[in-house]
Amino acid sequence: DLVRVVRHAVERQRLEDVRRRLAEAERDAAVGRLAAGLAHEVNNPAAFMIANLDIFKQYVAGMSRFVAGARALAERAGPEHGAAFEALVAEHQVAAGLEDTRQVIDEHAQGVRRITALVRTLGTFGGNGASGLEPVDLAEVLRDAAAMAMVEIKGRAALEEAIEALPPVHGDRTALARTFLDLLLNAAEAVPADVEGEHTIRLAACRQDDRVRVTVQDNGRGIPPADLRRVFHPFFTTKVGARAAGLGLTHAAEIARRHGGHIDVESELGVGSSFTVDLPVARGQGGGRVLLFEPDLEWLRTWGRGLQDAHDVALAADLDEALALLEGPLAFDVVVCRGPGGPGASLRGALRWHRPDLLERVLVCVDDEARFDADLGGAAVPEPGTIEMLRVAIAGRLGDAARPT
Domain ranges of the chain: 2-125, 135-280, 289-398
Answer yes or no: CATH 3.90.550.10 is held by domain 289-398: no
CB 338 within 8 A of CB 311: no
DSSP 275-289: EEEEEEPP------E
Residue 280 CA to residue 212 CA, distance in Å, equals 6
CATH, domain range 135-280? 3.30.565.10
Q: What is the pLDDT of residue 202?
A: 95
Report which of 127, 146, 148 is spatially closest to residue 138, judged by C-alpha positions: 146
How big is the chain by its Cα radius of gyration, in Å? 28
Q: What is the pLDDT along the chain (405 residues), one digit of tens a residue?
A: 666 666 666 677 666 665 655 555 555 555 555 565 666 667 667 777 877 888 888 888 889 999 899 999 998 999 888 899 989 989 888 888 888 898 888 888 878 777 776 666 666 555 544 455 677 889 989 998 898 888 888 888 899 999 998 888 877 888 888 889 889 988 998 887 665 557 899 999 999 877 899 999 999 888 888 888 777 776 556 554 444 444 468 778 888 877 778 899 999 988 899 999 998 887 554 467 888 998 888 888 888 877 876 777 888 888 888 888 888 766 788 899 887 778 888 888 888 888 888 888 888 887 766 677 777 777 777 775 667 777 777 877 776 433 433
Instruction: Encode pLDDT of 277-287 as tens digits.
Output: 998 887 554 46
Q: Is 376 helix (H, G, I), strand (E, B) or coil?
A: helix
In a 13 Å sphere around the CA of 17, the CA atoms on its Cβ side amount to 16
Indicate the pTM of the whole model: 0.48
Q: Is 187 helix (H, G, I), strand (E, B) or coil?
A: helix
Angle between helices 173-189 and 138-153 (to 10 degrees): 30
Residue 102 CA to residue 200 CA, distance in Å, equals 40
Report which of 398, 131, 389, 169 is spatially closest to residue 289, judged by C-alpha positions: 398
